[in-house]
Structure 1
Amino acid sequence: MKRSLLVLLTLSAALMAQIVTNGFFEAPDTEYGAVPPGWTISGNAKGWGFINDDGMSNSTSLECKANRNVASQAIKLAKNTDYTLFFQVKNIKAAPKISVHNKKGAELASYALSDDIQDVWFAGKVNFRTGDKEEHTLRLVGNYREPQGIARFDNIEIVLRAEVDKRPEPTPPKINTDNLALHKKYTFGAKPNYRYCTDPDDITQLTDGGRTVGYFWTQKSTVGWHQRQPIIVTVDLEKEEPICGASWTCAAGVAGVHWPISIQVFSSNDKKSWKLLGDLVYLGTRQESPDPFKYRVFTYQTKSFRTSGRYVAFFAVAKPGSGLFCDEIEVFKGDQACLDNPTCQNEFDMPLEDYVKAMALHSILAKRITEDIDKLSARFPDAASTPKKLLADYQKELDGTPMIIPKSTMLPIDIPLHEKVLAVNAFAMKEAGHAKPFAWKVNRWANNSLTDFPQRNELKPAEIKVVMMRNEVRSDAFAISNPTGNPLPVKISAEGMGQELKFQLRKVIPTWSPSSMELASALEPLELPGEVVIPSGCSYEFWGSFLRPVAEAGVYSGALLVQAGNETLRIPVKLDLAKLTFPAQPSLNVGGWQYAGTYRDNYKANIEIMRDFYVNSPWARTEVLPKNAEFDGEGRLTNADKLDFAAFDQWIQDWPGAKLYCIAHFLPRNHFFKENVGTTRFATMLGEYFRAIEARMDTHGLKREQLVYLFKDEPSTKEADEVIKSWMVHLRKAGLKMRWFDDPTYSKPETREYEVFKLHDIVCPNTPMMLREGKSFHDFYVNLCKDTGIELWLYSCSGPAKELDPIAYWRGQMWHCFEMGGKGTFYWAFGCTGGIGSSWTNFGQGGIEFGPYFVAPGDGKQLHGKQSEAIREGVQDYEYLLMLQDKCNKTKDAALKAELDKIVAQALEPITSDNLRWKASFDRSVLDACAAKVLELLAK
C-alpha cells in the first residue's frame, strides 16, 4: 500500500512540474543570441542562441547556426514509465536532431528531420519508456552531419503517456468549400518584399487553402509587404460569380507590426468598371477586434456583401512604417440574389490604384472630422439641443460625401463641411460665458486643439513673459478664440519693442498626421502689423519669440494690440534680459540624420533651419566616402592623389564651421573593396583608406579628431559585435585620430562583451530604451564612461516625429544628457519626411516622418515646429546647466551644487517612457520653470 501511494505521489508531482525547463524559450529578459536559461552548450557556444523573430506559437525559439556542439539539459523522469517527447523543429539546410538519453548515454528516443522538410516548422513526437534510473539528458543537435545551415527548436516538452492519451487529436483546418478564390490565380499591385517571408511561391500561397504555422511574418507560407504601396491583390474567379463575402487572414500586435488601417474589397467584370463592396477592417470587427498590442493571428471576414463579379480586388492599407502580412484570402459564394439584385457602396470608372489611394486618404480625413464631431457632441448632453442636431446632420453629410481630396495637411480641412463642424464649438464657448472674442494664456508645449478653450472662471489672462540671456531664443504663448458665428478677421500690431529685442510673433498652423491626429506644431512667422482669420468656434495659438536679442540687460515692456472684430485686446509683453550672453557655439554636440540632401532644391533652406536650432554635428552616409580607390597586392593605396572626394568636399562645404562631421558605415560587412575580412591585406587596406580620409580633413583646415565614424548601426547581438570586432580591431591598430561611434541597443547592456565598448571613443545609448529599462541601464552607461573615459552621447529614433512630446521626448533628452555627464544629443532624423520631401502633403508618403520641423520642396514653407523648438531650448538649457556647474566648481559652493542637483531631479521627474507621446497628460511647464531657476542662480 505504501509503495503504491509513493508511486502515485511521484507521478502526481511529475504532472504538476514542467519536466523540461524553458522548453518554450519564453524565460523573461533573455538577450537575443544568448544561451537561454535552463540549457547548456557543449564546447563553443558560437551560433547557439535565443532568438525572438521566429518561433512556432510565438516569436521565440532556440537557434543553432553552423555548430555541431550539443545543447542539452539534465532532466529527471520516473522509473519504468512511458513518456512522449513533443517538439517543433525548423530546418534551413541543416540536419537537426532531438533525443533523450539515460544515465549511461543510451538513446531512448530520437528524431532526425529529413532533408525534404525545409524552411517550415515541423511538429513531431516520439514515444519512449524509461528504465530503472531517474537521471536523463535531453539533447538538441543543430546538424548531426556537418556544421552548416540553421536549425531552430521550439515547444519542447516531455509528457506522461497516460496524459497524452487524454489529449484530443488535433483536427486539420477545414477547407471552406464555398471559397470561390481557392486555387485561383491573382496579381499584385506592389510586389511582396518582406525579406523573411518573400519567396517564389508568393504568387500561389494566398489562395492555396493552406495556413501559416509558426511566427507569422517569418514563415515562407506568409506573403508580406514592408513600406510598399499600393497593396492590392486582384483575384480572377475565371467567370462572373455571386459573392456574399470575403476574408483576409493576417497577424500583428508586436515587433512594430500594426493591424491594417483598412482592407477595402472591390468587384468587377472587366477590371475597368469597379464596385466598392466594403471595408473588411470595419465589417470584420463587428463582433471582435484584435488587441493592438498583443500578438495573434486574426481573420477579417464578412458575409454581408450582395454582389457579383469575375475579379475581386483587396486593397490593404498599412499603418505608416509598419509591415502588412497575409497567408490566405477568401471570396465567399453567394446565392442567386447576388446576381439578380446586386448592391454596393459605390461604383466608379477609373484605375483601381488611383481610386483606392484617394479613398484611403478620404478615410483618414473622414476619421479626423468624425473625431471632431464626437468631441463636440460630448459637450452638449441635451439630445434635443440645436448644436447636437447640427452635428448629427453634419455626420450624415460626411457619410454621404463621396471623396475628400485635400490640398495639404493644414486644418481646418479644405472643405466647407469641416468649418461648419468646428463652428458648432461657438455654442459651447457661449455656454461657458464667452460672448465676445477673447485671448487667454496657453502652455506652448501642449498640443492645443482648434476647439480648446477655458471656462470663463478658469481663464488666465494672455501675456508674453520671457526671462532669458542675450543671443538665445526663448518664447511664450497665448491663444485667441472666436465664439462668434462667423470667421473672425484679427489684426495684430506691436508697440514698445525695438529692433534690438528681435521680437517675432508666430502663428501655430494646425495640421493633421497620416494617423488623423490633430497637431499644433508648425510655427509660421507673422509680419507686424498683420492679419489672420480665425474660423468660427476655433482658437488660434500664437508664439511670441525673442530671436537672439542684442539689447542691453534689463526689463523691457511692450504690448500686442489685437483688433478682433469689434473687440480691442491688449496683450502685455515683458522681457527680462539677463546680463549674461549665450555663446555663439554651444558646448553640446547636436546632430541627426539629415535627409535634406535628397532634395537639392531645398537643401540650403533645410541646413539653415537645422543650424538655427544648433545642429553642429551633421551626419552623412557612405556616399561621401572617396571613390575609385585602388590597392596593390599587399593592400597599399596606390592612387591616393586620384581619389574622388567630390561628395566628401561638397558635404564639408555645406556645413562650414561644424564641430564634428559624422559618417555612418553601410558597406558590405564581410569584405572591403572585394577583399575578405580578416586577411593581412584587408587590415592594410583599411588603414590606408581611412588615413587618406583623415588627410582630406587636413586640406579643409579641420582636425582629424573632428571626423566621427559609426561602423555598425544599433548592434544588439553577439553576431553583430563579432562583425564590429573583425573591423574595429584593425582600425584601432592603424593609428588613426578619427573617433569611433557606437550606438548599441542591448536592453541589458551588461550582457554585452565589455571589450566591444572599449573599441570605441563614443557610446550613444537610446534614450527611450533607457527610460523603459530604468536605473540599471542608466547606471551602467554612467559607470562605463566614468571607468573607461569613453564619451557619452544620447539619441532617440522614434516616430512619427510630430506625434512625440516636445518636452518628454525632444527637450528632456538634453537634461538627461547633462545629468549623465553626456556631451552629445542626436535624433533620427532631420529633414526626413517619409520619402516625399514635404511635411505639407505627407499623406502621400510610404514611410514615417521623423523630422522635428516642417519640410517643403523648393521655396515652400520650411518652418520650425514645436519639436525643433524643443531641441533648441534643450540645447540652451544644457548650456545653462554647464554654466551653473562651472560656477559651482569655481566657488566650491556646496549649497549651490545641492540646488543644481535638486533642479535637475525636478526637471527629469516628468520625463518618463509613459510621457513620450504627445497624447500624454503631465505638467509641461516644469522644464521652463527649472531653466528660469538656473538662470536666476547664474545671475546672482
Structure 2
Amino acid sequence: MKLKHVLAPVLFAELFLHVNASENILAGKSAVFEQSPAYRLTADKNDAKDLTDGHINNWLVHFYKSSVGWYGHFFCSFYFDLGREMEIGEIKLHTSTGHGSVHLPEALFVMAGNSPDEFAMLDDMIASNPDLPKYEDGPKIFWITAKNRPVKARYLKFIALPHKDSTFFFADEITVAPGKNAVPVKRLPIFKGSTKQFIKFAKLQTRLELDLKQLAGNISLSGSRRSLEPLKTKLMANAASVTAHHGNSSDFPINQAQIDLAQFQQKLLADAGYHGLVIWGGNRWDAFNSYTFPEKKSADAGLKMSPGETRSFIINTANASDDNINADFSIESKLKIEVNRCISSVEQNNFFNANKLLPIQPEQGIYRFKLIPGESSQLFFRLQLPRDTVAGIYPVKINFADGKTVTVKVTATALRFPERLSAEYGTWDYLNNPECHGQVIDSSNFDMAMKLIRAYQMNLCWGHEIALPPVTPDMFDADGRLIKPLNFTNLDEWLNTMKGFQYYAVFGGGHLDKRLNFGFKPTVNPEKFTKRLTTYLNALAAHIEQKHKLPADKFRIHFIDEASTPEQKQLLRLWSNGVRGAISPSGKRFYSYGNPFFGKKEEIYAYPELDIIQPNPGTYRRNDIEPFIKADQLRGAKGITGLYVCANRVRQRDAYMYFGMIYRLGILFNNFCGAGFWNLATAPRDICELDYTGRIFSTWYFEGNQIFVSRQTEALLEGREDYEYMLLLKTLVAELKKKHSPYAEEASKLLDSIRKNVLAELGGEQDNLSLWSVKKNRSAADSQRGQIIDFAVKIMQKEPDIFNRTIWK
C-alpha cells in the first residue's frame, strides 16, 4: 500500500508552536532508534532530536522534516535516556491520522526502566484512549496522553505496532511533565528481553483478555451463574500459563491458558444441559473458533447442485464432557465427500478464527478427530458432483459413533456445469522472481503448489517485470529499429517453469522505466518513445509465439502500479498506447491492463487506452465500487473490467465478502474478466503468526513441505461458480429476448434483482465489510444460486433450443 498525498507538502509553511522546556523533562534529549525512521518526507539528520525539539506542527505531521516517520516496519521502537533517575509524570505524544493511509497504530506502548533492556509497562496509549480520532473522520492532528502513574526511572521507551491497514507510524513531539509522589520503577513488574519478545508477551496478554471476554459472553449464553474471576486471577498471576506455547504454530491451544479456559467452557456447556459430543449447524462462511458456543440449530442441510459443480457444508461440534473425546464418524453416500477440520489459529492482529482446512483421512471407513474438554471445532465437508451424475436426490448421512446422525440431501439437477470457469483467477508468480519477497514456495513444495493451482483452476499467472528482457537506448538505431538482440533468459525460465496456464501477465512493479530504457521520456517525446516501445513489444511477441507457442493475445502487459496522480495516469495512458501498435507474426497483439485509483472527487475517466482495467474494491464500500461500474459503462461492450485485492494480514479477511464477493461483483460489469490476488507465496512457514513481523497475503498455510488450503480458498472457488451461474442467467436473458420468449421478462427481473442485491450487500462509507469479525448475512449467494438453478432448469425444459446455445449443454 502506498502513501497517497492529496495535499503536496510544498504548499504549506512548516507552522509550529513551541513547548516550554521547563515543563518538559524530555526536552533536548536524543532518541535511540531500534529501526531507523527513514520515511522520505520526514527523514533528516536531526531525527534523533526531532521528537524533543519543542516544535509542534499544526498540520499533518507526515509532511514535515521536524517529525519522525517509519514505513514498512511491523513494529517501531525507540527510547530516551534521561541521564539519571527522574520522576516521570504526564506523558504526551503529538501525531495525526485520517489521510494517505496513515492510521493510528494498533498499540502504542510506553515503558520505563533503569536500564536499556529492562522495562515496566506504563500504558498502551491507544487502548487507554478509546475516544481518539478515527481514520474515517478525516485529517486530524492531536495529542495522545498516556494514562500512567508517576514513576521514578532513568529510561523511557516507546513501542508502536502499526495499524492492520497501514505500515506507517509518525510522531511529531513527545513531552514528559515532572512527576510527583512517583513510585520507583523497580517496584513494578519488570520485563527483561528484546522488543520482539515483549511484543509477543503483550500479544499473548491481549489474547488472554480477548478469550476471557468471549467466555464472559458465553456465560450469558449458557445461563450459568459461574464467575470467571477466580480463573482470571489465577492466569494473571501465573505468567507461564500465558506465555508458554509452541513457537512453530499458531494453532489452538497456543498455551496452557487456552486449555484452562476450554475447561471452564466445558462447565458452561454442562450447565446449559449439554453432555458428550455436541453437534449443531450454521453458515460455512461465518467466523468460528474454539470457544464458539453451540446454537440450537440443526446440522441437517440441503444442497441443490449441477454436475461438475463444487459445494461445501459444515457441522459444528463441541466437547461437553470433562475428558478428551475421540469423535468417530462414518459417511454413507454414493458421492465422494472430502472431509476437513477447520483449525482455529491466531494471526498477527490477534484475530482468532478457524480458517485452515486440515484433511481428515478415513481409516477403514472411520473418520476421527480429537477434542479437549470444552473445545469447539468445525468440520468442513467438500463435494464436487461428478459431471456424469444423473439428475436426482443423493442423500449423505454422517453417522457419529454416539448414535447422532446428520443428513444432507444433495439434489443433482439436469444442468451440466461448464468444465472451465469463465472468470479468471490471477495470482502472482513469486516462485521464480528472487528479487521479490515471499519465498515460502520452493523446490520442496513447488509440485504441491502447482497441483493446488490446477485443482482450483488458477488460470492466469502474473510475473514480475524482471522477467522482461532489459533494453537500453544503444540497442536501437535512429529509426527506432532494434540493432542488438534482446536477452530472453529470465522470460524463458519463467514461462518454462510455469507451464500450463491459460493466460500470462507481466506486472510493472515500479521500476519498469529503468528496465525498459528507450532513451526518451514518454511525456517529452511520446512519438519516439512509443515507436521504440512498439518495436520492443513486436520482438517480445515474436519470441513468445515462436519459442513458447503462446499467442500474444494470451499475454498481458502492466506498466504503472496503482496510478493515482495525474502524472502517473498520463504515463499509464502513454505506455498503453504503445501496446496497440505491436503485432505478433500471427497477427495478434498483447493486452494492456492497469489498476488505477479512482478518486472520489475526480471526473470518471474510462481509460480507453487500456484493454483491461482492474481496480481494487478495498473494503467493499458501495461508494468505492460505483466509480468502477460507471467507468465500465463508459468503456462500452469492448472494454474489459477485472478486479484485484491486496491486503496484508489476510487471515482476518472475510471469506464470503473479501474473497467470494469479488467474483459476484462481476455481474455488475459489461465484460468482466475475473480477479487477481496478491499473492500465494507471501506467508510464513512453521512459525507462530502471533508474533510474526512479516507480511501475510496468502490464503494458504505452510507447514514443513505441506500446504493447506482454507475456507478463504474455498470461498474464492465458490464465488467464481456463483458468477458462472449469474453469467448463465445473463446469457439466457439475451437469448430469450431475441426469441421474444414469454420467459424473457421473468429472466430480466431475476437478473435485475440479483444485481440490486449484490450492490445492497456492500457497505456504507464508514463500514469495513472485508473483515470476518463484522456481522453480516452470508447466505445471499446461496439463495441467488438456488434461484438461478430453478429458472435455468425451467428454461432447459421449456426452451431447450435456447438453453443449448449456452456452454451448459
**TM-score bracket, shorter-length normalisation:** 0.7 to 0.9
1-structure distance, mates of 2:105, 2:610:
41
Aligned positions, number: 756
Q: Is the 8 A contact 2:200 2:691 kept in 1?
A: no
Task: Identify if the C-alpha distance between structure 1 residues 241 and 122 changes in structure 2 by more than 3 Å, giving closer, same or farther.
Answer: closer
CA distance in 1: counterparts of 2:324 and 2:272, whole angstroms: 20
Query: Which letter does structure 2 place at the counterpart of 1:372?
Result: Q
Partner of 2:201: 359
CA–CA distance in structure 2, aligned partners of residues 823 and 659 of structure 1: 17
Q: Which runs of structure 2 are paired with 1:333-732 in the superposition (5 Å)?
A: 333-334=178-179, 342-348=186-192, 350=193, 352-379=194-221, 385-394=225-234, 396-397=236-237, 403-407=243-247, 410-455=250-295, 459-463=296-300, 465-497=302-334, 501-528=335-362, 529-547=366-384, 549-553=386-390, 554-563=392-401, 567-595=402-430, 598-599=438-439, 600-601=441-442, 602-627=445-470, 631-634=475-478, 635-640=480-485, 643-666=486-509, 668=511, 672-673=516-517, 675-678=519-522, 679=525, 682-698=529-545, 699-732=547-580
Larger radius of gyration: 1
Q: Which residue of 1 aligns with 2:804?
A: none
Distance 2:686 2:713 in 1: 14
Q: Which amino acid aligns with 1:344?
A: L
CA distance in 1, matches of 2:776, 2:128: 36
Aligned residue for 2:187, secondary structure, equals coil
Partner of residue 611, structure 2: 761
Q: Give the TM-score normalised by the residue count of structure 2.
A: 0.85
Separation (CA, whole Å) in 1 of partners of 2:319 and 2:600: 53
Residue 800 of structure 2 corresponds to none
Unaligned runs of 5+ in 1: 1-49, 56-62, 64-88, 91-119, 124-171
| CA contact 2:658–2:771 (8 Å) conserved in 1 | yes
Change (3 A) 1:368 1:647: farther
Q: CA deviation at 1:869?
A: 1.1
**1:730, CA displacement in angstroms?**
4.0
Structure 2: distance between partners of 1:448 and 1:336: 48
SS at structure 2 position matched to 1:369: helix
Inter-CA distance 920–677: structure 2 relative to 1 (3 Å threshold):
same
Residue 281 in 1 paired to residue 125 in 2?
yes
48, 65, 80: which one aligns with 1:203: 48
Query: How far is 1:704 from its partner?
Result: 0.5
8 A Cα contact 1:387 1:424, kept in partner: no
- Match of 1:429, SS? helix
Distance 1:897 1:620 in 2: 41
Change in Cα spacing, 1:263 to 1:345, as seen in structure 2 (3 Å) is farther
Q: Deviations over 1:677-734 (max 9, x none)?
A: 1446533431222222212221211110111112212223322222224433444344
For residues 318-351 of structure 1, what are the alpha-carbon distances to aligned partners after superposition, in whole Å with 9 as ceiling and x for unaligned? Answer: 2343311112234454468656x84222143x4x
CA contact (8 A) 1:306 1:344 kept: no
How far, CA to CA, are the matches of 1:549 and 1:798 in structure 2?
A: 35
Distance 2:471 2:300 in 1: 61
Distance 1:337 1:461 in 2: 59
CA apart distance, 1:883: 3.1
SS of the residue 2:22 aligns to: coil
1:936 to 780, 783, 790: 790
Where 1:639 maps in the other structure, the secondary structure is: coil
Tell me how far apart the structure 2 counterparts of residues 766 and 442 of structure 1 sit (CA, whole Å). Answer: 31
Secondary structure at the counterpart of residue 631 of structure 2: helix
Deviation by residue 1:246-286 (Cα, 9 ceiling, x = unmatched): 44332224443332333334445553x51324234268639
Q: Percent identity?
A: 20
Per-residue deviation at 1:515?
Answer: 1.9
1:121 aligns with 2:14: yes
Asked if structure 2 preserves the Cα contact closer than 8 Å seen for 1:306 and 1:342, the reply is: no
Deviation at 1:889, TM superposition (A): 4.1
Decide whether the 8 Å contact of 2:39 with 2:70 is kept in 1: yes
The answer on whether the counterparts of 1:482 and 1:488 sit within 8 Å (CA) in structure 2 is yes
Is the contact between residue 336 and residue 384 of structure 2 (CA under 8 Å) also seen in structure 1? yes
Q: Which residue of 2 aligns with 1:813?
A: 662
CA contact (8 A) 1:406 1:413 kept: no
Distance between the aligned counterparts of 2:624 and 2:42, measured in 1? 35
Is contact 2:338-2:382 (8 Å) kept?
yes
1: CA distance, partners of 2:316 / 2:771: 23
The partner residue of 1:751 within 603, 611, 621 is 603
**Corresponding residue of 2:162:** 318
Pairwise CA RMSD of aligned residues? Answer: 3.3
Matching residue of 2:803: none
Alpha-carbon offset, residue 188 of structure 1: 0.9
* Distance in 2 (alpha carbons) for counterparts of 1:886 and 1:53: 46
CA contact (8 A) 1:190 1:229 kept: no
Distance 1:313-1:777 versus aligned 2 partners, 3 A rule: closer
- Which structure's relative contact order is higher, taking Cα pairs within 8 Å and 6+ residues apart? 2
In structure 2, what residue type is equivalent to 1:416? Answer: Q
SS in 2 for 1:676: coil
Shift in Å, 1:390: 4.5
Contact 2:38 2:70 in 1 (8 A): yes
CA distance in 2: counterparts of 1:484 and 1:187, whole angstroms: 54
Could you tell me which residue of structure 2 aligns to residue 35 of structure 1? none
Q: TM-score w.r.t. structure 1 length?
A: 0.74
The one-letter code of the counterpart of 1:312 is: L
**1:918 alignment counterpart:** 772
The 10-residue stretch of structure 1 (758-767 or 904-913) with the greater mean CA deviation from structure 2 = 904-913
Q: Secondary structure at the match of 1:187?
A: strand
Task: Using the TM superposition, name which of 656-665 and 295-304 deviates more.
Answer: 295-304
Deviation at 1:443, TM superposition (A): 0.9
Q: State the distance in 1 between where 2:594 and 2:98 align.
A: 30
Other-structure match for 1:786 = 636
Counterpart check, 1:825 vs 2:687: no
Offset at 1:240?
Answer: 4.2
The offset of 1:446, in angstroms, is 0.9
Q: Answer whether contact 1:479 1:542 (CA < 8 A) is retained.
A: yes
Residues 473-505 of structure 1 show CA distances to partners (whole Å, capped at 9, x for unaligned) of 2111111222223332211222334xxx33111
How many angstroms apart in 2 are the aligned matches of 1:920 and 1:745? Answer: 26
